[in-house]
Amino acid sequence: MDAPTVRAACPNCQTPLRIPAAWAGQVVKCKKCGSGVRVRSGAAPIPQPVPQPAPPAVSAFADMRPAAPANDNPFDDPPPAYNGNGYTAPVPAYPYPVPPGAPAVATYPAPPAGYPYPMPAGYPQPVALPAPAQVPSAAFAPSEATAAHRKGRPYRRGPDRMKYVWIGVTLLVTAGLAFAAIHFAKQFEKKEKGGVETAGGEPKGGTPSGQPVSGGPKTTNLFANNANLPRRFLFIHISNYLYLNPLTSSAMIGQSRGADLTRSAAIRLSYEWKIPRDKENDQLFLLSDTASPPENRMPMRDVLMGTYDKFFETSRAQDRIMVYFGGHVLTIEGKTYLVPIEGDPDEPDKLIPLEDFYAKMKACKATQKVVIWDVCRFNPERGRSRPGSEPMSEETAKALSAVPPGVQAILTCRAGENALEFYNSQPDGPTKPSVFGSNFLAATRYVSDKSRNNSKEQKPDDPFPVEEWSKALAQRVASVVAVEGKGKQTVSVVGSRPESLVAANKDETMATRFEYPPSPMSASPTEIGAIASEINLPGIRKDEDSGIAGFPFPREVLAPYTEDVSLQTIRQNKDKYPLRIAVLDAQATIKDIWEKKGGEELSLREEFVGPSSDAVKKEVLKEQLFPARGITKLESAIIVLESVSGMRDAEPKRWQANYDYMLAQCKARLAWMNEYDLALGSIRTEVLPTLKPGQDGYRLISQEKMKVKKEAKYAEEAKEIYQKIIMEFKGSPWAIQAKRDKAQSLGLAWQPFSSKAATEPPTQ
């Protein structure tokens, strides 16, 4: 029968223990936490003793767990000591006897040869066995300093030390990587400052907007330094005309508009033509109303004329110069004009005669002169919301081709054609770069990328290779139009360069970088902004900009429209200002219909893909709730405005103009809402144009003629009010806005298209 046992509990973890009764008065270790337990003498044995297993055999690597850290507990173990053959077992810090037959010292074999780590500190004793007796050892004889240190700070066992070693190693590696990154960044910056250009003809560090230019070879391709090349480039692009159809200056990705393309296009062309771009000799001049500040400038008549005047005047005899003009030209009564941003077709005397431009270019001393006419621009994906995008007339083509001697002109389309634009066309397939903005400018990118590895080094005496370049562009432009099925667009070159050119002279002072002419003097932005806030409305279409806050108005023009009381005062005294309240309420109604709601931008259906299935028809039926509600709200606003019409003449000029403008807007938008409702209904009734091969959807475009009959009268009434504003408040913000809106086409039509929309925003 086995020896009797006594019951005990660990004082540390309260684990129940069964201890041989013969060990009374001795200290044993808890099998769970390793704490020492002393068995009291005279403890009652358990009535039914539990058989005890034999102690397990000790193995050199049986248990790698470390013992608990040393502290003031008298039952803690000191660290092991190395005796030359192996590690001694922990020596208890308490002088208690051990049971008979227990070994005095447990010896473990030495670690294998080459073992890189110290052995763990000690091995736990067999469960329920007492610790071995204390054995003096010279190997473990801590000094007084060590003992004092350990009393205040527990001894750190092996695995604890390894944790801090790994932390230290990690910190050192991180610091090394950071140092290396900084070092290589500085080296890269030095290389850039040394004049290295990247593959694909990109500007150093990518485009100014921070987006790399797409396309081009993947390997580095170094070009000769352009600093000594006698070349200059003037890039003019006008997008947001007041009275004419806007130009496409950004891509459309789904319902979102991409970044402005004009500045990146100018930079790309300047690298293609090796225009000097050094800080001390930057010969690229950009005039664009859509470029990011500070290069955003209003291309008004005086600014536009003054810019090309200074460009021609500051060019040297050895210079090869190029001018790009992207915008509208008009031929009125046999005379052709360049149209500035505020150009009014009804006032040709305020436009810029083409003959003036050609005369200044002829007088320029430059040895080679090239002008690119990217005009008569039209985006078939947008339509004509205003005049100005008609095909080029015979008179216009003839006038542009009448270049002075020694001048070459590149025309991006011929008589009867348009220079096409696209929001996001993919004639080469969905995996290839898109065509966006000007088809011509997109072709320059395509040709540049295709011939990049075969491009010849440009020498200072070399001319612009206009003929070769234009021939490649003509092929690309025509192929894109053919794929899109949008008619024809033909690129041609007229004129010729001189037979001999002035030799380059690097010792001559570089061409002067001139300052752009300032915009006309204007009243304070605060005053103009206050008026703009009273007539500012969201555009009917998402691609239509409304508002004239940035337009310069002379102080004398705005003097008759001085504010008498604030809008806050008007709203607080509704009974005193019923007409003004009606105007403000009408403005709020329009904004409520068209502006963002719940943080999301209002989305109108402007395209759909696939057949008009039952599912599509149900979806469109729900969408028709928008025009239905809008029509009701606009009709109510018109009733309220007309009810206070008798009070108009008693109001100051500012509120007479506000009243007329808001009434015209409500009527024009009411007509458009009915037109939009009819366009949605045509999807449900399947009254749609026939799709051609390759076409799988429809896009809603603007057109002058409206399809609605009865409701079209509101559009005519609005035009009459606009004309009244133009005549009565001539030159004022209301007159300019009214003239702009009067020219807007309110008709809508579904046009077939191919829905090969890109998933990533393109870059130019």
Task: Answer with the residue of higher pLDDT: 133 or 266.
Answer: 266
pLDDT bin (cut points 50, 70, 90) of residue 552 is confident
pLDDT bin (cut points 50, 70, 90) of residue 94 is very low
pLDDT at 352: 97
List pLDDT tens digits, range 424-435: 788 888 778 788
Task: Specify whether 575 is located in the same domain as 692.
Answer: yes
Task: Specify whether 254 is located in the same domain as 389.
Answer: yes
> How far separated are the first and last CA of the chain, in Å rounded?
95
Strand spans (E) along 448-532: 492-495
C-beta of residue 658 within 8 angstroms of C-beta of residue 725: no
Tell me which of 51-55, 205-209, 228-232, 618-622 is least confident: 205-209
C-beta of residue 666 within 8 angstroms of C-beta of residue 721: no
What's the residue count for the chain? 764
Residue 54 lies in a domain: no
Q: How does the average pLDDT of the chain come out, rounded? A: 77
Q: Which of 142, 176, 194 is at the close of a domain?
A: 194
C-beta of residue 703 within 8 angstroms of C-beta of residue 682: no
Residue 146 lies in a domain: no
Residue 103 pLDDT greater than 60, yes or no: no
Task: Specify whether 605 is located in the same domain as 681.
Answer: yes
Read off the pTM.
Answer: 0.62
Task: Specify whether 444 is located in the same domain as 484.
Answer: yes
Quote the percentage of the chain above a pLDDT of 90.
41
State the total domains in the chain.
3
List pLDDT tens digits, range 649-685: 999 999 999 999 999 999 999 999 999 999 999 999 8
pLDDT at 752: 86
List pLDDT tens digits, range 305-341: 999 999 999 999 999 999 999 999 999 999 999 999 9
Task: Specify whether 186 is located in the same domain as 268.
Answer: no
C-beta of residue 377 within 8 angstroms of C-beta of residue 262: no
Residue 209 lies in a domain: no
Q: Which of 194, 215, 246 is at the close of a domain?
A: 194
Residue written as token pair 């304070």: 524
Q: Which of 238, 240, 247 is nearest to 384 (CA)?
A: 247
Cα 323 to its chain centre, rounded Å, is: 30
Q: Which of 401, 309, 324 is nearest to 370 (CA)?
A: 324
pLDDT at 11: 64
Residue 78 lies in a domain: no
Task: Specify whether 390 is located in the same domain as 332.
Answer: yes
> How many other C-beta atoms can be found within 10 angstroms of the C-beta atom of residue 353?
16
pLDDT at 75: 37
Q: What is the CATH number of the domain that holds 430?
A: 3.40.50.1460
Tell me which of 295-299, 487-491, 655-659 is least confident: 295-299
pLDDT at 408: 97
Query: How large is the angle between the packed helices 466-484 and 439-450, nearest 10 degrees?
Result: 120
pLDDT at 138: 41
Give the span between the Cα atoms of 331 and 242, in whole angstroms.
Answer: 18
Average pLDDT over residues 593-618: 77
pLDDT bin (cut points 50, 70, 90) of residue 218 is very low
Residue written as token pair 């001697």: 405
Q: Which of 442, 475, 495 is at the close of a domain?
A: 495
Task: Specify whether 475 is located in the same domain as 599.
Answer: no
pLDDT bin (cut points 50, 70, 90) of residue 535 is confident
DSSP class of residue 458? P
> How many other C-beta atoms can be found within 10 angstroms of the C-beta atom of residue 682?
18
Residue 431 lies in a domain: yes
Task: Specify whether 249 is located in the same domain as 386.
Answer: yes
Residue 440 lies in a domain: yes
Task: Specify whether 544 is located in the same domain as 491.
Answer: no
Residue 435 lies in a domain: yes
Average pLDDT over residues 495-513: 92
List pLDDT tens digits, range 368-418: 999 999 999 998 877 777 888 899 999 999 999 999 999 999 999 999 999
Task: Specify whether 594 is located in the same domain as 705.
Answer: yes
Residue 459 pLDDT greater than 90, yes or no: no
Tell me which of 100-109, 469-478, 624-633 is least confident: 100-109
C-beta of residue 501 within 8 angstroms of C-beta of residue 317: no
Residue 127 pLDDT greater than 70, yes or no: no
pLDDT at 720: 97
Q: Which of 284, 398, 274, 378 is nearest to 326 (CA)?
A: 378
Residue 340 lies in a domain: yes
pLDDT at 254: 57
pLDDT bin (cut points 50, 70, 90) of residue 126 is very low
Task: Specify whether 286 is located in the same domain as 233.
Answer: yes
- Its domain, for residue 553, covers 525-753
Task: Specify whether 483 is located in the same domain as 529.
Answer: no
Task: Answer with the residue of higher pLDDT: 3 or 615.
Answer: 615
